[in-house]
């Protein structure tokens, strides 16, 4: 089976009703990154940061995977698929994808501020995490999210996975945030690279095949292309 690596960003979940970050009306128009998504923000006002992610988590419980997520999961019938996602939602998993690497953390997990290794699932009946919520060793819990300015622990795994790809597909990412955006430069030379996005993405390598559509429609076209031969 050929190895299909699929790198996804916020646009993957847009049709599920989760706003992207940088489109018009996106999250970073409503919030300042520096207020809610950096280690400094956490030091300055942890309650505000926790509230921001509590809201994101509540939203996630009220949305469902879209056709695009299901189409990605279905690719496992035809390919050895690895999803690398920048998204912190769990919509790929809920659509049935079995190999999902989260580069920027996961909304439905929290971790101890005492140790990065101590990660806990957020239970659906207690999805709010507030000041005073402690890990078993007595340290405050924080979102299991990679904030701006923090290292991306899974990037090495993502790079070595991308190096094994026979086909790479990027769906719904503005490719503005590194190191994730740099993954497209880690493929074996000459493999097919597709990009599904309704908007134009600047500075793409010339050998990328662009499918200028949303995730659901774009996946239909990709499927036709990949399964035709």
Interatomic CA distance for residues 201 and 111, integer angstroms: 34
State yes or no: residue 176 binds ligand APR (CB under 6 A): yes
Please list the alpha-helical segments (H only) found in the chain.
27-30, 33-36, 39-44, 46-61, 67-74, 91-95, 155-163, 215-228
State yes or no: residue 177 binds ligand APR (CB under 6 A): yes
Interatomic CA distance for residues 14 and 191, integer angstroms: 28
**For the packed helices 67-74 and 215-228, what is the interaxial angle rounded to 10 degrees?**
20
CB of 54 to ligand APR, least distance (A): 17
Interatomic CA distance for residues 129 and 44, integer angstroms: 17
CB of 132 to ligand APR, least distance (A): 27
Which residue, 32 or 188, has its beta carbon nearer to ligand APR?
A: 32
Which residue, 114 or 177, has its beta carbon nearer to ligand APR?
A: 177
CB of 145 to ligand APR, least distance (A): 8
What region, left, alpha or beta, does residue 132 occupy, with left being phi > 0 and alpha being psi -120 to 50 degrees? Answer: left
Q: Single out the residue of 5, 6, 7, 20 in contact with ligand APR (rule: CB under 6 A).
A: 20
Cis (ω within 30 of 0) for the bond into 135? Answer: no
Which H helix or E strand runs over 195?
strand 193-196
State yes or no: residue 57 binds ligand APR (CB under 6 A): no
Instruction: From the candidates 104, 144, 186, 199, give the one annotated as an active-site residue.
Output: 104
CB of 60 to ligand APR, least distance (A): 14
Q: Single out the residue of 5, 15, 106, 142 in contact with ligand APR (rule: CB under 6 A).
A: 15
Interatomic CA distance for residues 65 and 78, integer angstroms: 21
- Annotated active-site residue 104? The verdict is yes
Which residue, 95 or 135, has its beta carbon nearer to ligand APR?
A: 95
Active site residues per annotation: 104
Residues engaged in binding ligand APR (CB under 6 A): 9-11, 14-15, 20-23, 26, 86, 104, 171-174, 176-177, 197-199, 201, 214-215
């Amino acid at each position: 089976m050929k190895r299909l690596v699929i790198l996804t960003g916020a646009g993957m979940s847009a049709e599920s009703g989760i706003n992207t970050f940088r489109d018009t009306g996106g999250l970073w128009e409503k919030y300042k990154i520096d207020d809610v998504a950096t280690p400094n923000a956490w030091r300055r006002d942890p309650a505000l940061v926790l509230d921001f992610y509590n809201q994101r988590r509540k939203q996630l419980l009220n949305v469902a995977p879209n056709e695009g997520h299901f189409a990605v999961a279905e690719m496992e019938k035809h390919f050895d698929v690895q999803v690398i996602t920048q998204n912190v939602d769990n919509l790929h998993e809920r659509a049935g994808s079995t190999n999902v690497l989260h580069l920027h953390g996961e909304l439905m997990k929290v971790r101890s501020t005492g140790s990065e290794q101590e990660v806990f699932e957020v239970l659906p009946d207690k999805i709010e995490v507030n000041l005073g919520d402690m890990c078993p060793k007595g340290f405050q819990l924080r979102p299991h999210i990679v904030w701006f300015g923090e290292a991306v622990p899974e990037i090495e795994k993502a790079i070595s996975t991308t190096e094994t790809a026979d086909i790479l597909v990027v769906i719904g990412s503005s490719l503005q945030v590194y190191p994730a955006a740099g993954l497209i430069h880690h493929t074996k030379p000459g493999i097919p690279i597709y990009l599904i996005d309704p908007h134009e993405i600047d500075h793409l390598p010339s050998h990328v095949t662009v499918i200028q559509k949303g995730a659901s429609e774009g996946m239909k076209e990709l499927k036709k292309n990949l399964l035709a031969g």
